[in-house]
Structure 1
Amino acid sequence: MATSSPISQHGAAVALVQLLKEFGDLPPLYWQVSNHERYRGDLYGFASLPDPRPVMAVWAEALGATVTQSQFPYTNDEVYAQFAVETLWRDVRVRIVMSCPAAVLASETAVAA
């Protein structure tokens, strides 16, 4: 079905191709091109890792952004740490989010001490 209206995700899809070409040597992520927030194309990157901090740091540095950290309750007895990088890259919003059990980070800190 042909349409004459602009495709809201087109810019994000093109930016994702450029991002992956430019940073092809960085750790791979699962990418989702979204049209949330008034049908603007956004890129969301995800990965499932025991400790996402090293991967987040590499992507944040490449994108010229900072990593933010927060915690949230996952179940009644488990808290998760969430790490996020949010920035504009070539006029497209990029958001990378990863999380892990906070207990994993606490045990690694205890081992390092």
Structure 2
Amino acid sequence: MSTPNPVVLPRGFNYSLPACGVYHCNSHGTCAAPPDDSVDLACDCNLGYRGQFCEVTVNGSLSAPLTLSVIVVIVGVVVLAFIIAKMRQRQKKEQRRQVATKQGYNIAV
């Protein structure tokens, strides 16, 4: 039985160490073999990050407008729910008043 050929890595680098991705790639990527056989480490960035050391977020410029949009939608839903609740309360009060006058009751509802 033959053993698979081991991957040849540049001398002095162990890409399986967790410190490589944590420190070199800002915890947003993993170390990869350099594309041009140089001794510098290359980072394979996770989804949403880019740059030489995975230091730039792809959606960083969207975070403030997105947060504000979500807050506006939540506040709008709460206000709409409050308006609907008040309208239903008025409708029920009017229905009770109409039933009371139909049946001859003279009470304030």
TM-score by length of 2: 0.31
Bigger relative contact order, structure 1 or 2, given CA contacts below 8 A and separation 6+? Answer: 1
Structure in which a larger fraction of residues adopt strand? 1
Compare the two structures and name the one with the higher helix fraction. 2
TM-score, reference length from structure 1: 0.30
